[in-house]
Amino acid sequence: MGSSPKWAPTLLRVRGDTDVRAWTGSALSLAVARRLGPRSSVQVLRALGELRAETRGSGPAAVGAGFNRKRFLHLAGGALAVIGLSAAGQNSAFAKASENAKASAWVEANMDRLPRTYKEVIRHPIPYRQAVYDVLSPQERSQAWLEHFHRFRSSHPSLSPTQERIIRELADLTPRVMASPSEHTPELRRLSEAARRSFGLEQAAALLTRLGPDDGRAPQANCQCSQEDPYWCGLAFCGPIRCTTKPSGCGDLWQERCDGLCMS
């Protein structure tokens, strides 16, 4: 890079004390794409592009003068966070796949004695709950969610009339959603939005996106969110980070494909 390197986004690889390599410009784009894949690399390059746009024409002195240092660190940190999350998603993909595979294998080996009721299902970690849920009948899925709503109401004795109404409407809608999912998506989305407004994001998520209590293992269980129903990420967004996808298990009543991670 020389004694006066160009003021531009730069990717560094450091191995030991002497093995150092740097990429800038189009070479950086190609290196990131090879490492993270095309979709994840778009998020990284977008963050780096914003950083470069704000510093263009000012040079390194901008960090201490016209370009606010706090703003620089915010943008640079954001870019690094995207890179870190993307790399972490890629590096842990095999571990996540292994966890998911273990749960699926357990279900296949125990098809004749699987848990079928809400009380039985929630005794297991979340990855196993989701694997069991995938093979339940629509009626069994519906009964599990109805029991979940009942227990949620019992554990929250001071619900407002609006919150009570939302739970009643969810209980009425759920059997129809399980019988014909695509026919009732707009109505379910309307209720989930109302739940987020009335309960707040965390409690609404506990009501609509977690079958049973949180066991603290959800972040380790493959992809965490649906890009089609990303509202459960709060102020973050459901990013296309590499993770082990699932055909269902995310979004409202676990109806959506899991294909991303919540990113700020």
Segment 202-243, tens digit of pLDDT: 999 999 999 999 877 654 446 888 988 878 887 678 887 777
Residue reference for tokens 């609404």 = 204
What is the distance of C-alpha 188 from the center of its chain? 20
The mean pLDDT value for 165-175 works out to: 97
Residue 260 is given by DSSP the state B
Tell me the HSE value of 230 on the side-chain side, using a 13 A CA sphere: 14
CA 178, 182, 187, 193 torsion: positive or negative?
positive
Going by DSSP bridges, is the β-strand pair 261-263/246-250 parallel, antiparallel, or unpaired? unpaired
- Highest mean pLDDT pick, 30-39, 59-68, 196-205: 196-205
Comparing 162 with 66, the larger pLDDT belongs to 162
- Given pLDDT bands bounded at 50, 70 and 90, which one contains residue 260? confident
d(CA 90, CA 244): 9
- Closest among 264, 213, 263 to 241, alpha carbons compared: 263
Cβ within 8 Å of residue 128, ≥6 positions away: 103, 106, 107
The reported pLDDT for the residue numbered 238 is: 85
pTM, 2 dp? 0.60
Question: pLDDT at position 135, please?
Answer: 94
Q: Please, are residues 201 and 232 in contact by the beta-carbon 8 Å criterion?
A: yes
Query: For residue 249, what pLDDT band results from cuts at 50, 70 and 90?
Result: confident
Return the closest-CA partner of residue 208 out of 171, 260, 238, 160.
171
**Of the listed ranges 8-17, 71-80, 147-156, the one predicted with least confidence:** 71-80
Which residue blocks in 92-159 are alpha helix, DSSP H?
93-109, 118-121, 126-135, 138-155
Q: Give whole-number Cα distances, 156 to 152, 159, 246, in Å.
A: 6, 6, 31
Is 18 or 204 the better-scoring residue by pLDDT? 204
CA distance 241 to 261: 6
Tokens 């066991």, located at residue: 215
**Per-residue pLDDT at 219:** 47
Q: What does the pLDDT read at residue 58?
A: 47
**How high is the pLDDT of residue 92?**
45
Residue 130 has pLDDT above 50, yes or no: yes
Residue 3 has pLDDT above 80, yes or no: no
- Tell me what pLDDT residue 65 has: 46
The predicted structure's pLDDT at residue 13: 65
| pLDDT per position as a tens digit, 135-146 | 999 999 999 999
What is the overall mean pLDDT for the chain? 77
